[in-house]
Amino acid sequence: MTKTILIIEDEKAIQNILKAFLEDDGYQVETADDGIEGIAKFRQCHPDIVLLDLMLPKVDGFAVCEILRKETDTPIIMLTALDDDASQMKGFDALADDYITKPFSMPLVVRRIEAVLRRTESGNEGENDGIIRYKQISLDTESYEVLAEGKTVSLTAREFEILKLLLENQGRVFSRDNLLSSIWGYDYFGDEKIVNTHIKNIRRKLNVDYIETVRGVGYKIEKENQ
């Protein structure tokens, strides 16, 4: 059955690009230009997932998310140019399912939509769904909570995604280019040293160094049973 996506986005150029790309990928797409219209359209079309901009006219995205959360558990992915930690944490506090910062690549958006829908559809299969455990680390893909040695660790959204990717692919080496395309998007143009900085921050925050540097290649997390 075709999935319906509601895009609540006031920038027409972004809205049109998202709509065209997602329709080409087989989704049915509805759109809204502001927070009030978005809430009304949600109640009208009952989408399978919502792409929600934060900086909306009339009612901002945080308020829209809080209103929708009182009515439904439909997954919500926030789209925003606000990439600071405080804004991202506020989004997760509003019970958003994911958070994508602008500018973003369309292939990355599609992958994140697919991932959120998979988690939603399998959400009732067991109470441990969404938990990735590795030695002294526990990573919750639903709440974006990370524990290391029993203590909560505050990671940014990109640090979380890097750690998640490495944990889900134990033993596989990811080059800096691999990580840039997977986490930042295929159209990222910038200094690849940003990856080194994020890895350094993850190691420091976890206070346990499970991320191994493969000299001249990239990074990996060794398989737990090795």
Which comes out higher in pLDDT, residue 170 or 90?
Answer: 170
Angle between helical axes of 12-24 and 106-121 (0-180°, round to 10): 60
Per-residue pLDDT reduced to its tens digit, 136-189: 888 888 778 888 877 888 888 888 889 999 998 989 999 988 888 778 765 555
Phi, psi of 182 (to 5 degrees): -75, -40
Percent of the chain with pLDDT over 70: 85
Pairing between strand 28-32 and 4-8?
parallel
Per-residue pLDDT reduced to its tens digit, 187-206: 555 566 788 899 999 999 99
Instruction: Kindly state the tokens that stand for 159.
Output: 């640090």
